[in-house]
Amino acid sequence: MKKIMFFAYDGTGLGHLMRLIKIALGLSNYCKVLVVSGHKALPNIIPDGIEYALIPNFVEMRDKNGYSNEQTNNIRINIIDKIFNEFAPDAFVTDYLPYGKRCELANIITKANCLKYFILRSEIGGERLVHEDVFSVRNIDILAKYYTRILIASDPAITPMEQYLWLPVKIKEMISYIGFVTYSVSDNDIKIVRNNYLSPSNQKWMVCSAGGGKKGEEFINKCIELSRDNRLKDWKVDIIFGYYNSILWPFGDVHNYTIKNVTFHKWIKDLYLLHASADCVVCSGGYNTLTETMQGIKKHVFSYSVMNYEEEDEQVNNIRGLSKYYYIKEIRSLNTLVETTIDSIHDFQNFNQIQLNMNGIKNATLIITKDLNSINTK
C-alpha cells in the first residue's frame, strides 16, 4: 500500500490543518496516511482511524524551554525528518509555504525521493502575501524544481486562472483545480444531527461559530448577545467558541452547557455537521467554515471577517466571493450583527444558487492516487 505524509504548520489557523485532514481522509481509503503537525488541536479533531504525529508546538516549546527561534526550529526539523524517514512515504502533501514557515521542510522537499504536492486555498490573503510569501521569487523556484503539482482547493469561478497568468509557464503547467475541500453531508446525516440537537417542539436552529476560534473572541461575545435577544426565544441556538478561542470558559470542566434555549460549546469535533444542518449559521469568514455551511439544507449564512482587513483580506474575500453563489450575507461591523441577522433571517428573496465544485476531497484523491499508480517513486 502506498504511503502519504501530510504536514500542517502550527502557526497558522486551524483551517490549514483541517483542509489537509479532509484530503487525508479521502486518501485513507486507498493509501496509508500520516498527518503531522504541531497544532495542539490535532488529537481532538483528527477522524478516527487516521494516523497522526503531534510534534512540539513551536511557540510553546520555545517559551517553555527558553530556546531561541533557531534552537527550536532545529529540534523540530530533526523530529520532522525522523518521522518522515521512518514512515518513508511515497508522497508528501503540505500547504502554506513550499519550504514551511521556517524552512523546516527543506530537507524533505530537496532530498526526498517522493511525489510532492502543494495545496493552495482560494484566497491567500492579499497581494502582499501572494507575491512576498507564497509566490516569492525563491518559492517559485522551489515549486518548479521540487514539487509535482500545485492543487488549487477552489473553483475557477471563485479563483480564476487569470490571476496566475503572471507566473512562469512551468508553474502554470503544474496547477490543477480540485474544487473546494469539504466533507459531503447526506440527508440522513442531517436528519440524525437535527434529532440529536433539537427537540420536537423547537425545530428552528441557529449555529454561531468562529471556526477554530483564533481571533474570534469579540465575534463570539456578540453572538452571545444575539442569542439573548427575545426575538430568538423560539430558536434553538448553539454557540461554539472554537478550540483556540481565548475567552475564559465559564462553565467548569464540562465541554458544553445549556441555559434555556442556548447551548455553549468549547468546541465540537464534527462541527461541519452542525454547519450543514442548521437553518441559520452566524460565522467567521474562514474557508472551512463557509464551505461547510454551503453543504446540506438551504439556510441563511451571516458571516463576519475576524481578521484585520487592513492586514489580511482573506476572510472578506471568501465572504464576498462565495456570496455570489450562495445565501451568504456579509456582516461588515459587529455593531450591526444582531439587527442584520434578525432582520434578514427569513428573507431569502429570489436567489438562484449556482453549484460550485465542492468535490475537492474526491478530486485530490483521484489525482494523487493516479500519479502514485503511474510513477515509480522508489
Q: What is the pLDDT tens value at each position of the chain, 378 positions in all?
A: 999 999 999 988 899 999 999 999 999 999 999 999 999 999 999 999 999 999 999 999 999 999 999 999 999 999 999 999 999 999 999 998 999 999 999 999 999 999 999 999 887 655 666 767 889 999 999 999 999 999 999 999 999 999 999 999 999 999 999 999 999 999 999 999 999 999 988 889 999 999 898 889 999 999 999 999 999 999 999 999 999 999 999 999 999 999 999 999 999 999 999 999 999 999 999 999 999 999 998 899 999 999 876 667 889 999 999 999 999 999 999 999 999 999 988 775 555 566 899 999 999 999 999 999 997 644
Tell me, what's the pLDDT at 378? 44
CA trace torsion 319, 340, 311, 122 (10° rounding): -10
Q: Is residue 307 part of a domain?
A: yes
Same domain, 336 and 368: no
Residue 245 near residue 224 (C-beta atoms within 8 A): no
- Structural domain includes residue 349: no
Do 336 and 364 lie in a common domain? no
- Kindly state whether residues 208 and 60 are assigned to the same domain: no
E strand residue ranges, the chain: 3-8, 32-37, 51-54, 91-95, 115-121, 149-153, 175-177, 205-209, 236-240, 256-259, 262-265, 280-284, 300-304, 328-330
- Looking at residue 378, its amino acid is K
Q: Same domain, yes or no, for 102 and 207?
A: no
Distance, in Å, from the CA atom of 284 to the CA atom of 219, rounded to the nearest integer, reads 8
Whichever domain contains 313, its CATH number is 3.40.50.2000
Torsion sign (Cα): 66, 71, 77, 83: negative
Residues 117 and 194 in one domain: no
- Torsion over CA: 362, 166, 18, 76 (sign): positive
pTM value?
Answer: 0.94
Residue 275, in any domain of the structure: yes
End-to-end Cα, the chain, rounded Å: 13
Q: Please check whether residues 94 and 239 belong to one and the same domain.
A: no
Return the half-sphere exposure (C-beta side, CA atoms, 13 A cut-off) of residue 276.
Answer: 21
Domain shared by 29 and 158, yes or no: yes
Count the domains in the chain. Answer: 2
- CA 47 – CA 39 distance, rounded (Å): 15
Neighbours of 56 (CB within 10 A): 16
Question: What residues make up the domain containing 322?
Answer: 187-344
CA 272 to chain centroid, in Å, comes to 11
Residue 336 lies inside a defined structural domain of this protein? yes
Q: Are strands 205-209 and 175-177 parallel, antiparallel or unpaired?
A: unpaired
The bridge status of strand 256-259 relative to strand 262-265 is antiparallel
Do residues 283 and 240 make contact, with C-beta atoms less than 8 angstroms apart? Answer: no
